[in-house]
Structure 1
Amino acid sequence: MNLQGLPPAFQTQMQAQLGADYSDFETALDQPAPVSIRVNPRKNIFPTVDLLPIPWCSEGFYLPERPSFTLDPLFQAGAYYVQEASSMLLNEALKQTVKLNRPLRVLDLCAAPGGKSTLLASALSPDSLLICNEVIRSRVSVLRENMDKWGYPNVVISNHDPEDMRSLEGFFDVVVVDAPCSGEGLFRKDPDAMNEWSEANVQLCSARQKRILGAAAPLLDEGGILIYSTCTYNDSENTENVRFLTEHGFRNRSLELPADWNIVEKKTGETVGYQCYPHRVKGEGFFISVFQKTAFTAAVKLDARTFRSIRALRPRETASAMKWLQNPSEFSFWEKPNGDVMALPKSLEKTFLFLDSALHNKGFGLEMGQFKGQDFIPSHALALSTAVSSNLPAVALSKEDALRFFKKENLVFDEPLKGWLLAQYNGLNLGWLKGVGNRVNNYLPKDWRIRMDIKEYV
């Protein structure tokens, strides 16, 4: 990183904040950023034996160098997520403040691209509900893709401004606000963040964060947990904003973090937050603080008795759809007006009925595919789902053929293959193939196709 490019006002801010440690901070910014991943516990095949674990997240690991993740079939199949190590501190915050072994209603309010959402999905019980909300419409597709890769059926993707979610007041047990920020903690990884930084932008971000927190606060039930985080250092976006919560019906929850983690406590009055600095931890800049709601908010009651646009699948088609899932008795089956078939976890069906009326821009349930005459065309999301049947026909691919699959090339096999087949790599599902006569068609969605040259990797 070119330290000459650090904005002078930012340098002054950090010198005041760090004192004698500032030179160590600058030295850290001049070093390569650590590379870290978090494995998917329900697709647990990534080799981690020789990897250095991340202390505050049992599923997080450091890699010795940065590979080409795009050209790793295990990444494309959702075996792991590439996530900055400091931000995985959310995992420890959840463990210490939330009873995770019971069904919960959880909202990730600023979810794209999906790092915190995939972490939440892994931490929650299967009967919990996770709503992953993204305000910016153009970012919803990458959020959906990453959640499809992760493969958990108890997830809702929504696209709403926090202030448009008043119909969910008092509904949630946990709300995570990983707020859009000035990105000071990412200067080493993202020079564009450094170029866009200004004192005026910091104040703009701080005001926006207060607005988001103001909209998030009523969404929690009494006793619910709100977790606030940023990837920045300044007090305007961190300690001053969390003080806002203590003035609006919340009390701060402290965490017990081992001293050898080198995470700094930042206290303001009766509140405490936790700051990661790149010269103290093997990670980037990150701030997190946890609050419990003490005020009461009456939950909105919606008397919805039927879904607005989906209808129950006909019995004959239901029997056919059930064959694609490992535990079909745990799901009910529905059809959208466009013919898409979806499976809803029965334990969450009444909750989905409520959400169908409460949210307008959302997608929920496991997308399974469509019936075309007598044939069922399975969806890519079904192939990647942890709910898909393990008894379906499959074909094991080499890494070379797996990459060709993700290039959306048609593969050639020594023996003819018939019907729908799960393409697999190291036992993990990649997507669908279909044997037709003398050829095998590749059903990878066009939007998922790898456009990189793969010759040097095969």
Structure 2
Amino acid sequence: MRFPPEIPAAFAAQMTHWLGAEADHLLSALSGRPWRGLRYAAVAKPNGSLPASLAPFLRDRVPWTEDGFYLAQGPSLGYTVLHQAGAFYLQDPSAMAVAVALDPRPGERILDLCAAPGGKTTYAALLAARRGGAQMVANDIHRDRVLALAENAERVGAPCAITNESPSQLAEAWPQAFDAIIVDAPCSGEGMFRKDPAVRAEWRPDAPERFQALQKDILTHALNMLKPGGRLVYSTCTLNPLENEQVVLWLLDHFPVELEPLPEWPEWQPARADWAADRPELRRARRLWPHLGRGEGHFVARLRLCEPVSDQPRRRSKSSAHPGANKAWEAWLESFVTAIPASWRRTTGNKNVVFADVLGDLAAPGLRVLRPGPPLAERKGRVYVPHHAASRLIPPGGFRATVEIDEETAIRYLAGEPLAAPGDVSEETAFCAVAHEGFHLGFAKRAPGRLNNLYPRGLRSTRIESLAALAEEVAASSSYT
């Protein structure tokens, strides 16, 4: 059989074993261009819509979610004002289905166990916000990746706690603690071959078998953390049934779980029962094949736990209030925010930073907690200064003072320049929010004749591009389809 030269020969042989003649169509698709996607992301504006300035870049809607669009081929939108403001998230269209499958419900406690870089966490947080909110915890075992997770959660305003632990450590601390868990498991990444040449180059013939062992270990710990009746969404971005159908079959054979039916999303196919002991319920899981749907390769299954796996009672611990959560803190909030969220009154602290206490009674000695919740403010002496993350947690009109700026001014603000002080900015507070097209960029501090820029130095960039200029570039090229 002939196959594209960039595809590993052993992978082609494996796919031919499973798919037969259909493998030719898959391998041909994997040598093409990947699909690009963008979805609405601002959690503080859960029922909002994408700004009109993004319209030149958007193509069809992603049919399995109301928030996603396919993007025109062409320039990246990652260095634009609206991306920095958290208005949208660049995400593979197929990956958007995982949070949709989770189907967050009001007041649930949700864990994303392998969460970095945060696409699924942030979308689950947005869907939860539409339904009244949830207690979200996002974890990743890798220190470098968990920092990217924290940055993305902060950018879109996802109000979650972030931990940096192994699944085994979390399972020991949090037995039967969660209503819903996402396990977007480490995998051989075969579905990403056309998107990421590095994944293709690193693939080895024994990768599916090696990753299957890791996936089973992670899932065992995840089920220990799930309440009876709770939901577990298992997903991978790979194609081999060893990591997909056969892992789900193993779960069905070894744990008290039931496979729940997922929606019949357009362009997705039922999982292959014939690849896993012909168990007919496996068809309730879903696959997106790159040669059959507009997305990268993905597998999604949702399971319900029928009875507890762990026999350990969860050790409850009380969240310790931040020492600054007193009359001074309340007075500062009143001067700064028009309607104080309840979570901003339940705070905890680390050094001089005040955090919303999302982790709450899940706090446990010894766990590596990067953030117990979103940071709200820094205490400098007797003065509170708003933390940048707080700008993304409040909807428009939520701050006592807000300055709306155009794109050109926003580009300068993101580079660190001060702003001219408009005459209509309220003088009730020393700080004001800075917004573009209704999305908060950050904060500024009043000074004589100007507003001093509080955008974090580590985030400042001189690379921000104008959407209008990029739109002209797209319009000028017929290849951007």
Amino acid at match of 1:208: L
- Could you say what secondary structure the match of 1:107 adopts? strand
Structure 1: runs of 5 or more not aligned: none
Amino acid at match of 1:159: N
> 1:31 is matched with which residue?
32
> 1:321 is matched with which residue?
333
| Structure 1 residues 85 and 64: CA distance shift in structure 2, 3 A | same
Structure 2: runs of 5 or more not aligned: 471-481
In the alignment, the residues of structure 2 paired with residue 34 and residue 20 of structure 1 have an alpha-carbon distance, to the nearest angstrom, of 24
| 1:232-381 pair list within 5 angstroms | 232-258=238-264, 260-267=266-273, 268-269=276-277, 270=279, 271-272=281-282, 273-296=285-308, 297-298=310-311, 300-305=313-318, 307=320, 310-311=322-323, 313-328=325-340, 330-331=342-343, 332-334=345-347, 336-344=349-357, 352-357=360-365, 359-373=367-381, 375-381=383-389
1:291-311, Cα deviation, whole Å (9 max, x unpaired) = 11123234634353452x833
Aligned residues: 446
Out of 105, 115, 119, the position equivalent to 1:115 is 119
Q: Does 1:160 align with 2:171?
A: no
Amino acid at match of 1:369: A
| Structure 1 residues 387 and 365: CA distance shift in structure 2, 3 A | farther
> Mean alpha-carbon deviation: is it higher for 218-227 or for 332-341?
332-341
Amino acid at match of 2:447: V
In the alignment, the residues of structure 2 paired with residue 338 and residue 389 of structure 1 have an alpha-carbon distance, to the nearest angstrom, of 30
Give 1:148 shift. 0.9
1:93-124, Cα deviation, whole Å (9 max, x unpaired) = 234xxxx4431111100000001101111222
In the alignment, the residues of structure 2 paired with residue 310 and residue 77 of structure 1 have an alpha-carbon distance, to the nearest angstrom, of 29
In the alignment, the residues of structure 2 paired with residue 380 and residue 358 of structure 1 have an alpha-carbon distance, to the nearest angstrom, of 28
| Structure 1 residues 454 and 409: CA distance shift in structure 2, 3 A | farther
In the alignment, the residues of structure 1 paired with residue 417 and residue 272 of structure 2 have an alpha-carbon distance, to the nearest angstrom, of 53
1:255-305, Cα deviation, whole Å (9 max, x unpaired) = 254375242422123351321111111000001112111232346343534
TM-score (norm 1): 0.88
Give 1:223 shift. 1.4
Amino acid at match of 1:200: D
1:369-422, Cα deviation, whole Å (9 max, x unpaired) = 123356431110011113686242222222122122222233456879874222
In the alignment, the residues of structure 1 paired with residue 402 and residue 352 of structure 2 have an alpha-carbon distance, to the nearest angstrom, of 26
| Structure 1 residues 251 and 455: CA distance shift in structure 2, 3 A | closer
In the alignment, the residues of structure 1 paired with residue 169 and residue 134 of structure 2 have an alpha-carbon distance, to the nearest angstrom, of 23
In the alignment, the residues of structure 1 paired with residue 315 and residue 453 of structure 2 have an alpha-carbon distance, to the nearest angstrom, of 44
Query: Does structure 2 conserve the Cα–Cα contact (< 8 Å) formed by 1:380 and 1:445?
Result: yes
> 1:203 is matched with which residue?
209
In the alignment, the residues of structure 2 paired with residue 233 and residue 343 of structure 1 have an alpha-carbon distance, to the nearest angstrom, of 40
- What is the percentage of aligned positions where both structures have the same residue? 28
- Could you say what secondary structure the match of 2:206 adopts? helix
Query: Does structure 2 conserve the Cα–Cα contact (< 8 Å) formed by 1:184 and 1:285?
Result: yes
Larger RCO, structure (CA 8 Å, separation 6 or more): 2
Larger proportion of strand:
1
Give 1:455 shift. 8.7
Q: Does 1:182 align with 2:188?
A: yes
- Could you say what secondary structure the match of 2:66 adopts? strand
> 1:426 is matched with which residue?
437
- Could you say what secondary structure the match of 2:97 adopts? helix
TM-score (norm 2): 0.84
Query: Does structure 2 conserve the Cα–Cα contact (< 8 Å) formed by 1:327 and 1:387?
Result: no
Query: Does structure 1 conserve the Cα–Cα contact (< 8 Å) formed by 2:162 and 2:372?
Result: yes
Amino acid at match of 1:302: R
In the alignment, the residues of structure 1 paired with residue 347 and residue 95 of structure 2 have an alpha-carbon distance, to the nearest angstrom, of 37
| Structure 1 residues 396 and 416: CA distance shift in structure 2, 3 A | closer
| Structure 1 residues 288 and 303: CA distance shift in structure 2, 3 A | closer
Query: Does structure 2 conserve the Cα–Cα contact (< 8 Å) formed by 1:304 and 1:357?
Result: no
> 2:9 is matched with which residue?
8
> 2:84 is matched with which residue?
76
> 1:151 is matched with which residue?
157
Query: Does structure 2 conserve the Cα–Cα contact (< 8 Å) formed by 1:416 and 1:435?
Result: no
> Mean alpha-carbon deviation: is it higher for 396-405 or for 413-422?
413-422
Out of 401, 409, 412, the position equivalent to 2:409 is 401
| Structure 1 residues 451 and 242: CA distance shift in structure 2, 3 A | farther
Amino acid at match of 1:121: A
1:170-201, Cα deviation, whole Å (9 max, x unpaired) = 11111110001111100101000000000133
- Could you say what secondary structure the match of 1:300 adopts? coil
Query: Does structure 1 conserve the Cα–Cα contact (< 8 Å) formed by 2:319 and 2:363?
Result: no
- Could you say what secondary structure the match of 1:69 adopts? coil
In the alignment, the residues of structure 1 paired with residue 352 and residue 444 of structure 2 have an alpha-carbon distance, to the nearest angstrom, of 21
| Structure 1 residues 382 and 279: CA distance shift in structure 2, 3 A | same
